[in-house]
Structure 1
Amino acid sequence: MAKRKFGNLILNDALKEFIKENKLQGGMDKVNVREAWANLMGNGVNNYTTAVELRKDILYVSLSSSVLRNELMQGKSKIVTMLNEELGKELVQKIVLR
């Protein structure tokens, strides 16, 4: 059981500490990557996106349009850069489009 800390604590700091102590950062990263994908790609791409999953440092994206998949394959390195900038850390190293 975690120690109790007395005194005032900023909510943001308390949540970060809770995530760290309970080793939840991996799950938070997966959620944050999905949100970043949705924000960066917009409605046009999101309508054809069926699944976004982060495993280790590889982002797996399932698309229902083969034409869109071919278009996105040409700019995979740029997408990786944009996602990492949105996340604020180097989380995605590679994208696999299916």
Structure 2
Amino acid sequence: MNNHNTYLLKDAINDFLNTYPFIKDKVRENRIKELWEKLMGKMISNHTQALYLRNGVLFIEVNSASLRTELSYAKEKIKNTINSEIGDNSITEVRIK
């Protein structure tokens, strides 16, 4: 194979994800869902009804008003924890519903 014409798979994937940012958000969203219980604990995970990522905003829906209040005070910590775990700063804001 001629090294002059090689294109690394990781570069091809990154180019694809940069071309279609909504897919990039979906990949991140799925990664966050995989990590959610590990990062937030079983109790919070059990009360989480939905997690989704749109344009850098992580939406968290919970089924408990008291938990919603508690999480609203920890939005910055949640953002920083998840960004640190996934290795970038793609989450710019957290909204609790």
TM-score (norm 1): 0.75
Match of 1:86 in 2: 85
Deviation at 1:38, TM superposition (A): 2.8
- Counterpart of 2:60, as a letter, is V
CA distance in 2, matches of 1:26, 1:92: 10
Task: Report the CA distance between 1:91 and its aligned residue.
Answer: 1.0
Which of 12, 15, 19 does residue 13 from structure 2 map onto?
19
Structure 1 stretches (4+) deviating beyond 4 angstroms? Answer: none
Cα pair 2:58 2:94 within 8 Å, conserved: yes
- Three-state SS of the structure 2 residue aligned to 1:45 is helix
Higher deviation after alignment, 28-37 or 43-52: 28-37
Q: How many residues align?
A: 87
Give the aligned CA root-mean-square deviation in angstroms. Answer: 1.9
Percent of pairs identical after alignment?
28
1:65-80 equivalences under 5 Å are: 65-80=64-79
Bigger helix share:
2
SS in 2 for 1:90: coil
Matches within 5 A, 1:1-98: 6=1, 14=9, 16-17=10-11, 19-23=13-17, 24-98=23-97
Give unmatched runs, 5+ long, in structure 1. Answer: 1-5, 8-12
Using structure 2 for the length normalisation, give the TM-score.
Answer: 0.76
Query: Distance between the aligned counterparts of 2:30 and 2:13, measured in 1?
Result: 13
Deviations 1:28-52 (A, max 9, x none): 1121122233320121101000000
Q: Give 3-state SS (helix, strand or coil) of 1:89's partner.
A: coil
